Amino acid sequence: MISKYSFITVDKNNFNLNYIKNKERSKNFKEFDDLLEDKKIKSKKLYVLIEGEEVYIKELIVPKVKGKKINNILNNELLYEFNSLEDILYCYKIKNKNKRNMNILMFCVNIYDKLYVKKILNNKFNVKGIYLVQFVILNYYMKYIKENKFKFLLKYKDYIYFIVCDKDKIIYNSVIKEDEKKNILIKKELLKEEFKMYNKIYCVFCDTNSLKDVLDEFEVVYLKKSDKNLKKIYKKIIRSKVII
């Protein structure tokens, strides 16, 4: 019996369905079309986790408006940047505001090459949220991080994620493919001049010998692993209102 909540993780080439009841479990489908035809899954709330995707972040100053007017302003900005809204998913946070203006952080993902995500959205699944796996895991670990300004490095499956945060706001992110060039690219990201004042690096799942060789020259905190604790992370997603 499939539980009330189901989670599907997807990247450009792979997908895997997980569902929560008393224990975290997974169900594999050889073909994605088999999942599309599963009526039991379609009847449940589905949360989509995208892997291996970088987020486009832009800071905007806009007039102080509410609701749909904010979305209209952001839609126009996205049309200017991408020429089309067809494959763009986005959310935003109000960083600060005064009597006249608001400072908004906009987070966007382009799913033009995410065939599985498109199929889910176009096949009447009960999708309750679409999330980026690196932001979900960062959000889970925020309770262990005391600094206002910090870097966050995550190794998860086939990708390494680099995030820079300032007062609970994500201001930069990048995604590095796990291959022979990864150490060079990681060091290049960590040494970026504009983030030089962000001294401390919090790392999750980065305690491999190859990564430690790169990280030894930096001020690093290795956070407690939670690869056996996905159930807590999934429940945190359900309570979250943030898409990406």
**What's the pLDDT band for 2 if we cut at 50, 70, 90?**
very low
Q: Which of 37-46, 135-144, 167-176, 215-224 has the lowest mean pLDDT?
A: 37-46
Q: For the chain, what is the HEC assignment?
A: CCCCEEEEEECCCCEEEEEECCCEEEECCCCHHHHHCCHHHHCCEEEEEECCCCCEEEEEEEECCCCHHHHHHHHHHHHHHHCCCCCEEEEEEEEEECCCEEEEEEEEEECCCCHHHHHHHCCCCEEEEEEEHHHHHHHHHHHHCCCCEEEEEEEECCEEEEEEEECCEEEEEEEEECCCCHHHHHHHHHCCHHHCCCCEEEEECCCCHHHHHHHCCCEEEECCCCCCCHHHHHHHHHHCCCCC
pLDDT score of 96: 87
**Interacting residues of 16 by C-beta distance below 8 A, sequence separation 6+:** 8, 9, 26, 28
pLDDT score of 28: 60
pLDDT score of 201: 94
Q: How many Å apart are CA 204 and CA 138, to the nearest integer? A: 9
122-177 pLDDT per residue, tens = 887 888 888 888 988 898 888 889 899 999 999 988 899 999 999 778 999 999 99
- To the question of pTM greater than 0.85 for the whole model, the response is no
- On average, the pLDDT of the chain sits at 82
